[in-house]
C-alpha cells in the first residue's frame, strides 16, 4: 500500500501505463494503522490525565498502598503469552493448517479472557478496599485508563472469535486471499499489548515506587 | 525454517517462529527485570525511573518492529506510529508538568 498508487512502466521506456490501484487489503492496512495511531493519541491523553491527577487521592487509598505487583505480573504474562500464541496462529495460517489456526486463536482468546478476568478481580479488590470510581480524581483517572484498555482487550477477543467463526462459515474455506483479515486482527492485538507495556510501567511500576 | 519470509497480499514480511520466540524470551526477561527492580527497590529513585522507562521503550520497540512487522513494512506505517508516539510523549510530559505545579 502506501506506496499507494503505482504506475505500470512501459516496456519501451515510454509513457507509464494506467495506475495500479491498491488492493482492498492494502487499503485496509492503511486504515488500521491510522486507527492505531489515533488510538495511541487517545491513550496518551488518558495517561496524561492520570499523571496529572494521580496525586489527588482526597484522603483515600494511594497507588502505593493498593497496587499488587505479583497480580499485575501474572496479567502481564497472560497478555505477553497471547502475543506468542497469536504468532503461532499466524504461522499455522501461513502453512494453511486451519485446524492449528483455530486452536491457537482459541488459546489466544482464552489468554485475553484471563487478562480481562484478572482486571475485573483487581477492580473488585480495589473497590472493596475503598477505591471506588468516584472516591478521588486518582480513582477516576485510574479506572478510566485501565478500564479503557480492558475494553480494547475485550474487543480484540470478540474480533478473534468472529474470525474463528469466519473460518468455519467461509464457503470454500480459508484461502490466501483471506490472510489479510487475520493479519489486521493480529496488528490490533499486538498494539493492545504495546499499550499495556506503557500502562504497567507508568501506572503500576512507577506508581508502586512512588 | 527461514528467519524472514516474504508474505501476503498486504506486502508484509513476517519473521519466522524462531525470531518470534526469541523476541518473546527477551520481552519476558525485560518484564521480569522491570518488576523485580520495582518490587525490591534495589535502585535509588533517580536511577530506577529512567531505567524502567528505557526498558519499556525497548519492549515497545521490539513489539512494534518484530510483532507488528514495522521492520519490514512500509515506512509510511512507521511514520504514523512514530508521529503518534511523539504526540503521546508530548501529551504525557505536559500532563506530568501540570501535575508537578
Summarize the confidence of residues A17-35 as an average pLDDT.
79
* CB-based contact B10 A187, cutoff 8 Å: no
How many cross-chain Cβ pairs, A to B, lie less than 8 Å apart? 162
Residue A194 pLDDT exceeds 50: yes
Q: Write down the pLDDT at residue B73.
A: 77
* CB-based contact B55 A201, cutoff 8 Å: yes
Chain B within 8 Å of A47 (Cβ-Cβ)?
Answer: yes
A149-153, A199-203, B12-16, B51-55, range with the lowest pLDDT: B12-16
Q: Write down the pLDDT at residue B3.
A: 40
Dihedral of alpha carbons A186, A187, A189, A193, sign: positive
Alpha helices, DSSP H only, in A15-68?
24-53, 63-66
CB A94 within 8 A of CB B14: yes
Q: Write down the pLDDT at residue B83.
A: 82
* C-alpha span between A140 and A149 (Å, rounded): 14
CB A170 within 8 A of CB A25: no
* CB-based contact B74 A52, cutoff 8 Å: no
**What is the longest distance spanned by two Cα atoms in chain B?**
55
Give me the percent of chain A exceeding a pLDDT of 90.
59
- How distant is the Cα of B4 from the closest Cα of chain A, in angstroms? 12
Q: Write down the pLDDT at residue A123.
A: 95
A12-16, A59-63, A71-75, range with the lowest pLDDT: A12-16
pLDDT digits 0-9 by tens, A96-133: 999 999 999 999 999 999 999 999 999 999 999 988 88
Q: Write down the pLDDT at residue B1.
A: 38
User: What are the 10-residue block averages of pLDDT along chain B, 101 residues in total?
Assistant: 45 69 94 93 87 94 88 78 80 75 69
Question: Domain limits of chain B?
Answer: 4-73
For domain A24-209, which CATH number applies: 3.40.50.300, 1.10.10.10, 1.10.390.10, 1.20.120.80? 1.20.120.80
- How distant is the Cα of B5 from the closest Cα of chain A, in angstroms? 10
Chain B within 8 Å of A87 (Cβ-Cβ)?
Answer: yes
Which residues in chain B (6-35) have CB-CB distances under 8 A to chain A?
A: 7-12, 14, 16-17, 20-21, 24, 27-28, 31, 34-35
Residue A48 pLDDT exceeds 60: yes
Chain B within 8 Å of A36 (Cβ-Cβ)?
Answer: yes
**What is the longest distance spanned by two Cα atoms in chain A?**
79
A64-68, A81-85, A155-159, range with the lowest pLDDT: A64-68
Q: Write down the pLDDT at residue B93.
A: 79
- Per-residue pLDDT band at A195 (split at 50, 70, 90): very high
Q: Write down the pLDDT at residue B98.
A: 74
Q: Write down the pLDDT at residue B5.
A: 43
Chain B within 8 Å of A74 (Cβ-Cβ)?
Answer: no
Cell of A124: 473488585
Amino acid at each position: 500500500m502506501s506506496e499507494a498508487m503505482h504506475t505500470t512502466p512501459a516496456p519501451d521506456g515510454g509513457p507509464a501505463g494506467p495506475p495500479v490501484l491498491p488492493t482492498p487489503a492494502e487499503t485496509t492496512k492503511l486504515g488500521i494503522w491510522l486507527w492505531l495511531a489515533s488510538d495511541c493519541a487517545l491513550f496518551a491523553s488518558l495517561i496524561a490525565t492520570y499523571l496529572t491527577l494521580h496525586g489527588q487521592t482526597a484522603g483515600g487509598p494511594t497507588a502505593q498502598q493498593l497496587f499488587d505487583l505479583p497480580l499485575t505480573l501474572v496479567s502481564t504474562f497472560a497478555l505477553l503469552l497471547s502475543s506468542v500464541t497469536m504468532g503461532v496462529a499466524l504461522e499455522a495460517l501461513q502453512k494453511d493448517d486451519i485446524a492449528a489456526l483455530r486452536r491457537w486463536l482459541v488459546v489466544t482468546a482464552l489468554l485475553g479472557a484471563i487478562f480481562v478476568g484478572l482486571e475485573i478481580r483487581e477492580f473488585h479488590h480495589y473497590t472493596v478496599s475503598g477505591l471506588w470510581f468516584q472516591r478521588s480524581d486518582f480513582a477516576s483517572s485510574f479506572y478510566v485508563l485501565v478500564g479503557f484498555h480492558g475494553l480494547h482487550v475485550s474487543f480484540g477477543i470478540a474480533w478473534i472469535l468472529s474470525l474463528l467463526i469466519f473460518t468455519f462459515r467461509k464457503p470454500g474455506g480459508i484461502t490466501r486471499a483471506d490472510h489479510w483479515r487475520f493479519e489486521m486482527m493480529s496488528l490490533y492485538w499486538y498494539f493492545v499489548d504495546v499499550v499495556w507495556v506503557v500502562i504497567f510501567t507508568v501506572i503500576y511500576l512507577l506508581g508502586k515506587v512512588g | 525454517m527461514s528467519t524472514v519470509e516474504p508474505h501476503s497480499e498486504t506486502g508484509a514480511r513476517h519473521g519466522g517462529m524462531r525470531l518470534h520466540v526469541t523476541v518473546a524470551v527477551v520481552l519476558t526477561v525485560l518484564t521480569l527485570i522491570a518488576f523485580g527492580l520495582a518490587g525490591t527497590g534495589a535502585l535509588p529513585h533517580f536511577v530506577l525511573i529512567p531505567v524502567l522507562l528505557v526498558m519499556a521503550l525497548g519492549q515497545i520497540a521490539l513489539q512494534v518492529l518484530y510483532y507488528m512487522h514495522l521492520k519490514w513494512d512500509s515506512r509510511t506505517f512507521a511514520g504514523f506510529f512514530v508521529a503518534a508516539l511523539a504526540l503521546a510523549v508530548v501529551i504525557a510530559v505536559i500532563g506530568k508538568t501540570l501535575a508537578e505545579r
